[in-house]
């Protein structure tokens, strides 16, 4: 991005300024430290010299014993080292206070996510075999449903977003969803369409529980999803989005990510990759399934990353599937192939599909049009076209663009 704007000089000068400020502060600290060190040494040597001259003359005059003078020399050393130590400690304390201030500013800027915090505490307890050490909110823990009920309800019940209001924590004054009501029917495909910025991806973030609604609730089979541990919930939801994040491990490990090694065999990984139309390009990579994909998958193209994410979702085999522009980085031929894999993947699962290209969602069981943080229209493709409202005009615009 910097290169595309010819901004190298500006970035380099910003970096230079930061480096210079750091260098200046380091030099200042060095000068102060060495001044302190030199001063203490000068004081020690001057004191010792004074002690030797004054004490020596007194000892030779017989007014002072050698033992007393030796004790004074010892005291001088002790006192100087103590003063030097105290000055150094004061310097370190300043650094510590600055760090504490920084840590506090980070901690106080974020509300603690209770469900995640308790979920982690529970896991720690389980792995240590410790129970009830008093740090875990027992009321919260006892309110959580078991993992099997989470999975059972997700396989059998509708998802309902009930009067959901939501603002992002960083922009709490702007309401993104204002009373959104939507049922995502169990085992069926619901598509969410609408103009850019309407709040479609925000709905996805709430379903994945990256955020919780400000008001209203999300339920599955009538049960508020907050009664499930976040980690349990993440097991029943698969998400493939526009820019899937891959981890800096091999292709195979990325496909099996999050699943226990003893559960996933290499054959299953290959099967999932074939179904996602990814096998061919993976075997053409230098080390096949063992090829490292680089930081965030940077060594692969956008379309290849999406196909790996689809294979990952296939292998995860969860009841709820969210596809947020899952095929947007594919060319038309690959999209058709991957769409077939996705159709196969969506069968029997509660699926929410977001796509700008309406041709990819016209076969959905229901299409919801999101506008200004609410559902403005709901129905099948044919019903919505017949109404002649927002959806119909979106279809007409895309048809015109195509022609």
Residues that bind ligand ATP (CB under 6 A): 168, 170-171, 176, 194, 196-202
Query: Least Å distance between CB 314 and ligand ATP?
Result: 24
Q: Are 210 and 168 in contact (CB under 8 A)?
A: no
- Minimum CB distance to ligand ATP smaller for 202 or for 219: 202
The helix/strand/coil state of 231 is: helix
Neighbours of 353 (CB within 10 A): 24
Nearer to ligand ATP, 202 or 304 (CB): 202
Q: What CA–CA distance (Å, rounded) separates 366 from 159? A: 14
Q: How far is the CB of 18 from ligand ATP (least distance, A)?
A: 27
d(CA 239, CA 18): 40
Within a 10 A sphere around the Cβ of 130, how many other Cβ atoms?
11
Instruction: Pick the closer one to ligand ATP by CB: 136 or 177.
Output: 177
Q: Which is nearer to ligand ATP, 52 or 168 (CB)?
A: 168
Which lies closer to ligand ATP via its Cβ, residue 168 or residue 247? 168
Give min distance, CB of 42 to ligand ATP, in A: 58
State how far the Cα of 310 lies from the Cα of 401, in Å rounded to an integer. 29
CB of 202 to ligand ATP, least distance (A): 3
Q: Which is nearer to ligand ATP, 154 or 355 (CB)?
A: 355
The residue (of 183 and 201) whose beta carbon lies closer to ligand ATP is 201
Q: Which of 327, 284, 286, 323 is nearest to 303 (CA)?
A: 327
SS3 category, 245: coil
- Inter-residue contact 209 to 164 (CB < 8 Å): no
Instruction: Tell the smallest beta-carbon distance from residue 188 to ligand ATP (Å).
Output: 21
Integer Cα distance of 316 and 152 in angstroms: 16
Q: H/E/C letters for each residue in 319-370?
A: CEEEEECCCCCCCHHHHHHHHHHHHHHHCCCEEEEECCCHHHCCCCCEEEEE
Ramachandran angles phi, psi of 377, nearest 5°: -145, 150
Q: Judged by CB, which is closer to ligand ATP: 252, or 373?
A: 373
The DSSP string of 248-300 is SSBHHHHHTTTS-TTT--HHHHHHHHHHTT-HHHHHTSTTGGG-B--GGGTTS
- Min separation Cβ 242 and ligand ATP, Å: 7
């Amino acid at each position: 991005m910097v290169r595309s704007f010819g901004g190298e000089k500006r970035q380099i000068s910003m970096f230079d300024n930061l480096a210079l400020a750091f260098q200046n502060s380091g030099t200042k600290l060095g000068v102060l430290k060495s001044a302190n060190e030199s001063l203490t040494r000068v004081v020690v040597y001057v004191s010792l010299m004074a002690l030797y001259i004054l004490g020596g003359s007194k000892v030779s005059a017989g007014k002072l014993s050698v033992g007393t003078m030796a004790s004074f020399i010892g005291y001088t050393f002790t006192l100087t080292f103590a003063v030097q130590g105290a000055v150094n400690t004061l310097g370190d304390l300043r650094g510590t206070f600055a760090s504490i201030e920084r840590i506090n500013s980070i901690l106080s800027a974020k509300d603690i996510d209770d469900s995640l915090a308790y979920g982690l505490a529970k896991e720690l307890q389980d792995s240590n075999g410790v129970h009830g050490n008093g740090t875990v909110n027992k009321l919260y823990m006892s309110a959580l449903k078991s993992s099997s009920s989470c999975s059972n309800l997700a396989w059998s019940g509708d998802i309902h977003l009930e009067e959901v209001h939501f603002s992002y924590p960083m922009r709490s004054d702007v309401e993104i969803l204002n009373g959104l009501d939507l049922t995502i029917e169990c085992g069926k495909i619901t598509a969410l369409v609408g103009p850019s910025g309407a709040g479609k991806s925000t709905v996805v973030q709430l379903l994945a529980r990256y955020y919780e609604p400000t008001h209203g609730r999300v339920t599955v089979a009538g049960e508020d999803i907050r009664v499930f541990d976040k980690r349990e919930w993440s097991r029943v939801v698969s998400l493939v989005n526009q820019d899937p994040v891959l981890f800096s491990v091999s292709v195979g490990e990325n496909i099996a990510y999050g699943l226990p090694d003893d559960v996933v065999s290499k054959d299953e990984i290959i099967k999932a990759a074939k179904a996602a139309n990814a096998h061919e390009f993976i075997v053409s990579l230098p080390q096949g399934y063992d090829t490292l994909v680089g930081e965030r998958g940077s060594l692969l193209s956008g379309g290849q990353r999406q196909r790996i994410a689809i294979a990952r979702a296939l292998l995860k085999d969860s009841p709820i599937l969210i596809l947020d522009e899952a095929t947007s980085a594919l060319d038309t031929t690959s999209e058709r192939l991957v769409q077939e894999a996705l159709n196969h993947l969506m069968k029997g699962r509660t699926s929410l599909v977001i796509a700008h290209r309406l041709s990819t969602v016209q076969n959905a069981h229901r299409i919801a049009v999101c506008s200004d943080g609410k559902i403005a229209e709901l129905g099948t493709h044919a019903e919505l076209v017949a109404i002649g409202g927002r959806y119909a005009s979106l279809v007409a615009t895309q048809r015109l663009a195509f022609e």
